[in-house]
Each structure stands twice: as structure tokens, then as C-alpha cells.
Amino acid sequence: MAVASKFSRRFFNNPFPLFSFHFSSSTASSLPPPIRVALTDSVGRAVFATRSIAAADLIHTASPAVCHPSSARPACYACLASLPHSQPLRSPFCSQHCHQRSKGYYDVEMNANWVAFDDYCGTRGLKYPFLVKRLVCMVISGDARSDTLDILQPANFTPEMVSEMEEEFVLLKSAFTKALIGDEHIAFLTKQWYINVLARIRINAFRIELAGGPYEDLLSLAVASVEAEAAVGNAVYVLPSFYNHDCDPNAHIIWIDNAHAKLKALRDIDEGEELRICYIDASLDRDARRELLFRGFGFQCNCHRCLHGD
Ligand SMILES: C[S@@+](CC[C@H](N)C(=O)[O-])C[C@H]1O[C@@H](n2cnc3c(N)ncnc32)[C@H](O)[C@@H]1O
């Protein structure tokens, strides 16, 4: 972690961190999470430890700003908890609590006809437009602000990529206008807004695979593992989006039962060290990792492993 340490010593001494966070963590301690976000001169913003953290410690938890279940596996509409495979799906919710808390945006979504939009995105294998659709429903219902994701780093789209998004944007917007949602409620939904949100989702979305998915029996476990798609869905978070990537990370993000994320230390971390997670499969060889990071996230990885040819 030479690169991380190089940044960390300098930025830990910066008296003006961009953010410090004070929210609940599931550790027994009443201390705030031991992190802060500060600006670096080579990788934008980054997360730094404000005290030493022991291997396997929970650093903090995070709830998604927006999430959406995958179509391949039944998952709760609100929290992405696995739903039983073996029962006919009666409700898209895992609990009354999830139903209640997402009722506003669920009703907005159910009021519109999604056949054309879902077909268009489904046949092209597009998953991120579904996160935008969810965010639009949340904004209309008053459950989110239209600028919720503005703080996150955006991807650079080429003009060709932008023009390819025209059709999905038109289908999304027309589903709402045909559902007679008043202009005043969807004034924010311009093509520029759509592109800006997708650009942030592209860099910051997490594909969620549950570590502790409840399988009712061996058959449902077999069905789940035979399916190529192990993810229960995708989600975007605010604080976890400030973690930079390292091919030999000192932290990781995990999901046990649902989209509520846990950031955990993979090894002992010093006060002032930068916390980094791995965005991809770290077991790939250097060329494959670099290719994936460049195509998926648009950056040349500056981690110690990559710089030293490992
Ligand atoms: C999810 S964001 C991480 C937070 C970001 N630095 C920011 O300011 O919001 C991912 C972006 O951070 C930068 N980044 C993350 N890890 C990097 C690395 N190992 N090498 C170079 N750039 C990296 C890249 O610009 C990448 O697109």
C-alpha cells in the first residue's frame, strides 16, 4: 500500500477535510466511523482512516441512495433481500416494513406502463437505466431529490454514447407522461439530467451479491447457483463511492442479507492511511485488470501492484 500511504500522511494533516461522517455504525462503540473524505491531487477524493483500524473491523455501514433488483433473481423491491424461488411471487417485498417505506415510489412506478422501456433495456442487457427509472419514481414521490447523485464523480461519455441513450430516455419519459404525471412533477427529467445521472451511476454503481442469501432448501440453492446471474441487483451509495480502487485493497464492501452495505477492514490499517476497495476481480492478471478498469471506469490504475507489474 505504498501509494495509499503516500497520500495518507499528507492528507491526514490537512485541516480541511471535505467531509467527516457522524452516523450510526453497527459496532457496539459509540465512536463515529473512523474515516474522513479528503481531496488528493491524483485520484480526486479519497477516504482516509482517522485512527488505526484492526483487520476484520466494521468501518461503517451504508444504505443505498438508489437500488434496483435484477430481473434474474427474485429480490425485494426495496432492500434487495432474496425472495423465495419456490413460491409463486405474490409480493415483491420481503416485509411489511419494506412495503411501507417504499410505497410512495412503488405506487408511482406501478401507475405507468413499462413494457416498451423494459423490453428496450432488457433486450440490450442495459441495467443502469433501471436505476434511473427508480430514482425518477423516488423524486416524483418525494423520497429523493433530483440532485441526489450530483456529488458523485461522473463518467465521460462520448457523443456516440450520448446519442445511444436518446431512445431509452424517450421511452422513460413517455412512460411517465402517458401515466398522466403532471409536467410540474417531471420538469427535472430532461435528457441532460438523464445523461448526468447515468454518468454517475456508470462509475459508482455496485453489483450486489449477497453473502448470506437465505435459501429455503437445497433445490432453491441449486437453482440460484446454476443461474449465471448471481447478483440480486445494483445500487448506488454516497460514502462508499468515495473509496478509490486498489488491486490489493485494505478494505472491502460486503452485503449479507440485503442492499445495506458493510465496509470492513481486510487487514490492520494505520491512522492516516487511505482506505481502498477493489472494484474488480483482483485475481485477474495485470493486463486483464487494467483493461477492465479502463473500459469500465475510465482510469489507469495507479495502485502499487499495477505500478510494479504484478
Ligand atoms: C468511485 S470513484 C472514487 C472516488 C473518486 N476519486 C472521487 O473523487 O469521487 C472512481 C474514480 O476514482 C478514480 N480512481 C479510483 N481508483 C483509482 C486508481 N486506483 N487509480 C487511478 N484512479 C483511481 C478514477 O477517476 C475513478 O473513475
Give bridge partners of residue 273 from the DSSP assignment.
none
Q: Is the CB of 244 under 6 A from ligand 1?
A: yes
pLDDT digits (tens, 9 = 90+) for 108-128: 999 999 999 999 999 999 999
**Does residue 196 share a domain with residue 273?**
no
Do 53 and 109 sit in the same domain of this protein?
Answer: no
C-alpha triplet 55, 301, 242: angle, nearest 5°: 55
Does residue 238 belong to any structural domain of this protein? Answer: no
Closest CA to 134 of 109, 159, 113, 103: 109
Q: Give the pLDDT score at 230.
A: 82
What is the spatial distance between Cα 84 and Cα 226, in angstroms, rounded to a whole number? 16
Banded model confidence at residue 145, pLDDT cuts 50, 70, 90 = very high
Total domains in the fold of the chain: 2
37 and 82, same domain (yes or no): no
Dump pLDDT digits (tens) for 170-196.
999 999 999 999 999 999 999 999 999
User: Which atom belonging to ligand 1 lies closest to the Cα atom of 204?
Assistant: 1
Residues 266 and 172 in one domain: no
Domain that holds residue 180: 66-207
Domain assignment present for 227: no
Q: Is 165 exposed, middle or buried (0-12, 13-18, 19+ CB in 10 A)?
A: buried
CB 133 within 8 A of CB 108: no
CATH number at residue 274: 2.170.270.10
Q: What is the CA radius of gyration of the chain?
A: 20
Task: Name the least confident of 52-56, 72-76, 120-124, 242-246.
Answer: 72-76
Residue at a domain's end among 178, 207, 236: 207
Mutual angle of helices 115-124 and 166-178, in 10-degree steps: 160
241 lines ligand 1 (CB under 6 A): yes
Closest-CA residue, ligand 1 atom 11, reads 244
At 14 the pLDDT is: 40
> 13-22 pLDDT, tens per residue?
343 445 544 4
Residue 234 lies in a domain: no
**What number is the average pLDDT over the span 98-107?**
98
Chain segment 38-59, per-residue pLDDT in tens? 999 999 999 999 999 999 999 9
In order, the DSSP letters of 16-39 are --SEE-----SSS--SPPSEEEEE
224 falls within a domain: no
**Assigned domain for 58 exists:** yes
Q: What is the average pLDDT value for the chain, to the nearest integer?
A: 88
Same domain, yes or no: 43 and 89: no
Q: Which one of 177, 207, 237 terminates a domain?
A: 207
Question: Is residue 3 classed exposed, middle or buried when 0-12, 13-18 and 19+ CB atoms within 10 A define those classes?
Answer: buried
C-alpha cell recorded at residue 76: 425485494
Q: Which of 205, 232, 202 is nearest to 70 (CA)?
A: 232
Same-domain pairing of 71 and 109: yes
Please tell me whether residues 51 and 75 are part of one structural domain. no
Same domain for 17 and 74, yes or no, is no
204 CB under 6 A from ligand 1? yes
